[in-house]
């Protein structure tokens, strides 16, 4: 089975100082081998681009490969290397699941959220979402916070 690898940094400075594209690639190749996938050279996608947008040349090509069912899995170093916005990660995860493509991460990040049944993603981090305020969790309505009997009584009112 073939897998694709996606590696991204935002700036050339990050490439030099942070997690380089090459170090991400090495870790992703190890993960692919561990999971039993082959990764041909043409399925390695590396780019220096902001993670705040889904409009990225290499990501667009990768999505096309998934849509055409040319790959069985996509391996990314961490969720924030795929996207920096929580909704975008969920959008991609659902899209890949629809095409029957597994999404796997080498490392999870602080604040991870289990989404096993939601989008086919084993683990997902809220770090990027919280950092940019993209994911807001509303407080439940007042009646849901009340004790159950009172909630039931309130639900009977017209």
Catalytic residues: 10
| Distant-in-sequence, close-in-space partners of 136: CB < 8 Å, separation ≥ 6 | none
83 neighbors 54 (Cβ within 8 angstroms): yes
Alpha helices in the chain (DSSP H): 12-17, 21-35, 57-67, 79-82, 86-98, 127-132, 142-145, 148-156
Length of the chain: 158
Burial 50-59 (b: 16+ CB within 10 A, else e): ebeeeebebb
């Amino acid at each position: 089975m073939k897998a694709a690898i996606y590696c991204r940094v935002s700036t050339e400075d990050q490439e030099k100082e942070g997690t380089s594209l090459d170090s991400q690639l090495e870790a992703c190749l190890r993960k692919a081998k561990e999971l039993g996938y082959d990764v041909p050279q043409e399925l390695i996608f590396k780019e220096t681009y902001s993670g705040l947008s889904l409009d990225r040349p290499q990501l667009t090509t990768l999505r096309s490969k998934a849509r055409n069912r040319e790959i069985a899995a996509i391996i990314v170093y961490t969720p924030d290397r795929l996207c920096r916005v929580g909704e975008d990660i969920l959008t991609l995860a659902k899209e890949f699941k629809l095409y029957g493509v597994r999404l796997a991460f080498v490392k999870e990040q602080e604040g991870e959220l289990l989404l096993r049944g939601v989008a086919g993603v084993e683990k997902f981090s809220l770090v990027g979402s919280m950092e940019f305020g993209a994911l807001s969790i509303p407080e439940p309505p007042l009646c849901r916070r009340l004790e159950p009997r009172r909630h039931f009584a309130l639900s009977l009112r017209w």
